[in-house]
Amino acid sequence: MKLPAVLLTLSWVVAIVAQGTSRRPTLRPIPYRPRVPFPNPPSRKRLCVVRTHGDGITDDSQYILSAFRECNDGGHVLFPRENTYIVGTAMDWTFLRHIDIDIQGRIRFTNDTAYWQTNSFRFVFQNVTSFFKLGGEDVWIYGGGTLDGNGQTWYDTHAENIYTLRPVLVGIDGLKESVLSDLVLRHSPQYYHFVANASNVVFNNINIAGASTSKNIASNTDGWDIYRAEDITIMNSVIHNGDDCVSFKPNSTNILVQSLFCNGSHGISVGSLGQYPGEFDIVDSIMVSNISMHNASDGARIKVWPNTASAMSGDLQGGGGSGRVRNITYEDMTVDNVDYAIEITQCYGQRNLTLCQLYPSPLTIENVVFRRFRGNTSSKYQPLIAAFACSSAEVCRSIYATDIDVASPRGTRQAYCLNQNTTTLDVECTSIYRGFN
């Protein structure tokens, strides 16, 4: 039975009209505009208001799907700000076309870990699953509301069993010509965004946070992971998390990331790459600009697995793949209490440096620029402020670090340099290495 999207009572309609729908956000790219123009569709003409059971317990998924179907292809869906919507069913949203989704209230996913591990949507990379799968074309999602992943149960469950499949909060598969803006994301079980097989998607003014309240940390809570996607823009956002602020996974091309405040993260990372034998990973044409990075393990990072099987942890293993990283720019980054301002490693996931030397990665890294870095590192690896470590001079070419004004707490500017042209690096190179990442 099809559920109506709108509860037709006069008082309810009057309340909704008085509240009003949100205006589409204005996108202000600073300092760069993306390679392709922002989506700019005409306004939508009909309104669908999403119902809720309103008891904070009963699953509202069918109400949500009903509103999406009713207003698809030219409508505006409203989640009123006074409502909290409970989602306990995995939903496929890849049918969406030409639709505005105006989230003013809160969407909260249940903590039924048994259900979600069995029914969430599976991706093909690193055991990624998602509560819902967002795809389609010309989809605008905004409104200032909140998506709540109810993550605490997941953090505790994962601490007991590292093989727990934790859903990402926003799982994207095949989305194009779309915008997600003015959203609050809280307590994701794992990544906040996994963006796969997408093109010309803009993320603007996204507020991410969600620390654990128990002794079990909120791990692997990347802000964005980009995979097999092109022309993705991430800008004007604030991220408090426990893993990569943004990560460019295999086959990410023409990506613009700018004007972010990142706190508690593992930096903005290319990779990890070379994880799967027989796969050729490509990351090409990435611009990262105007970043404020605080209390993080890294500022800018490129991480590649060695050319043999290696284990980062029981649930994260890899090595033996190849590929290329090319045309990457990190610029205008301020670091504050960051372990390494810059790190390149082709020994990711492996503490045995001898093994990495015996099985050097064949993945090439070339035309990479780090420029105008400012600030201070933590004391963790001092006197080092950075590490530039490649498996051979043949696979790492044209690596530049210019105008690097970063110091350790001791005031040093040393960097570990392996198989590098040290004349292109504005640091004091040393052969003494500290730290494994």
Please pick, among 76, 98, 266, 294, the residue that the annotation labels catalytic: 266
Output the pLDDT for position 82: 97
3-state secondary structure of 61: helix
DSSP SS3 for 408: coil
Closest among 154, 147, 85, 86 to 114, alpha carbons compared: 154
Which tokens go with 79?
């989640």
Spatial neighbors of 80 by CB under 8 A, at least 6 apart, are 16, 19, 49, 50, 104, 105
Please name which of 224, 223, 217, 87 lies closest in space to residue 150, comparing C-alpha atoms. 87
Question: What residue type is assigned to position 241 of the chain?
Answer: N
User: What does the alpha-carbon distance between residue 102 and residue 195 come to, in Å, rounded to a whole number?
Assistant: 20
Residue 53 designated active-site: no
Write the pLDDT tens digit of every residue in 2-33.
444 443 333 344 444 445 999 999 999 999 99
pLDDT of residue 25: 97
- Residue 353: the pLDDT is 76
Which segments of the chain have a pLDDT < 70? 1-19, 435-437
Tell me the domains of the chain and their CATH numbers: 1-224 (2.160.20.10), 266-437 (2.160.20.10)
Token pair belonging to 424: 């292109």
Closest Cα partner for 362 from 390, 395, 399?
395
